[in-house]
Structure 1
C-alpha cells in the first residue's frame, strides 16, 4: 500500500489501521449520501436519479485535475504512478457481469457492503451472490485463466496510446462532465413529469 504520509512521520505499520479508519469514514459518507439504497443506485439506469453519475464524474474530474496539478507543481511525479495492466477480455466480460449485477441488484460491491452494515436484507442476498460468484470463479480458475490473462495490453492509458496532450483530455473530460450533469437534470425532470 505504501506510506500514507511519506517522510517517516507515521510508522509504516500504522498504514493498515489508518486505512481501516479511512474505510469507516468512506462507508459513513456512502450511507449519509444515500448510496446504501438500491433504488437510488439503480435510478441512474431508469432515469429518475443521477446522483451516482454526478458523484463518479465529480470524483474522476477532481482526482485527475488534482493529480496533474500536483505533477505540474512538482509535488508528484505522474510517471511513477502505478497503472493497472489492461486485460481486454477480462475487462469486457467483467464489465458486463458487473453492469448486469448492478442493474438487477441495485448495488455495486462496495455499496452492497455498506447496505449490509445497516442490515438491509436485499444487500445480504446480493453479497451472498457475490460470494457464490467468487467461489465459482476461484474453483474454476483454470478454466477461466486464458480469458483472465488473455489479451494483456500492459500498463497503458488512452493518453499514452493515442499520444494525446493530457491537459486537453482533462479539459474535454470536464466539459463532458458538465454536459452530462445538464443532460441528466433534463432527463430526470422529464421522467419525473411523466411518472409523478
Structure 2
C-alpha cells in the first residue's frame, strides 16, 4: 500500500500541502515541548537537560519499529521509501558545523524557526546567521563543490552499511536508546547540583 504518493494513493500535487501541514504540526509539537528554549536545547551538551535526546531518540525508535511493523503487515513497502543519498565528507563537515552552531547558539535550524515564530530575539539573530551562511555557501559553491559532492556512497542505510538484518538493527538501536536514557539520567542527577 505505502508509500502513499509513489503508489498513487495520494496525487503527487499534494506533496507541498502535506509537507506544510506536517511542518505546522511539527512546529506546534516543538513549541509545546519547550524546544523553542535555547537553554533547554543546549542543556544536552552541558548535561543538565536531556529532553531533546530523549524525545528525538524516542521518535526515531517509534518510527523505526512502526515502519518495519507496517512493512511486515504489508501496509508499507520499505524498498520503495526514499533514502537520501550519502556524501560522506560533506555530511561529516556539515555535521561538525551544525554541531558547533547548535552549541554556540542553542538552536538547530528547525527549533530556531520555531523560536522566531514566538518572537525570541536570540533566535532571530541565529536565523539571520543561517541566512548569511546559506548565502555565502551558494555564492561560493564552486569552491565547496568537490567536498559537497565527494565521497558519494549512494542511497545507503545503516542496515546496508553493516549488512545486518533490519530486525536485529531495530533491537540493537532500541537497546542503545534505553542505555542512553539510563546514562543521561545519571549525568543529569550529577550536574543538577551545579546548574540548579
Query: Is the pair's TM-score, using the shorter chain for normalization, greater than 0.5?
Result: yes
Answering whether residue 187 of structure 2 is matched by residue 187 of structure 1, we say: yes
Aligned to 1:3: 5
C-alpha separation in 1, matches of 2:91 and 2:162: 20
Please give the residue correspondences for 1:1-196 in structure 2 after superposition, counting only pairs within 5 Å.
3=5, 7=9, 12-196=12-196
Give the match's secondary structure for 1:34. coil
* C-alpha contact 2:87 2:149 (8 A) present in aligned 1: yes
C-alpha separation in 2, matches of 1:109 and 1:4: 28
Structure 1's 86 and 34: CA in aligned 2 closer, same or farther, altered over 3 A? same
* C-alpha contact 1:4 1:15 (8 A) present in aligned 2: no
Alignment RMSD (CA, Å):
1.9
Give the match's secondary structure for 1:153. strand
- 1:40-89 superposed Cα distances (whole Å, 9 cap, x missing partner): 00000000000000011101100110111111111111111111111011
**Structure 1 runs (4+) greater than 6 angstroms displaced:** none
C-alpha separation in 2, matches of 1:67 and 1:162: 19
Task: Output the TM-score relative to the length of structure 2.
Answer: 0.92
Deviation at 1:135, TM superposition (A): 0.3
Instruction: Note the residue ranges of structure 1 that are not aligned, 5 or more in a row.
Output: none
C-alpha separation in 2, matches of 1:37 and 1:81: 33
C-alpha separation in 1, matches of 2:41 and 2:177: 19
Structure 1's 40 and 129: CA in aligned 2 closer, same or farther, altered over 3 A? same
Task: Output the TM-score relative to the length of structure 1.
Answer: 0.92
* C-alpha contact 2:48 2:195 (8 A) present in aligned 1: no
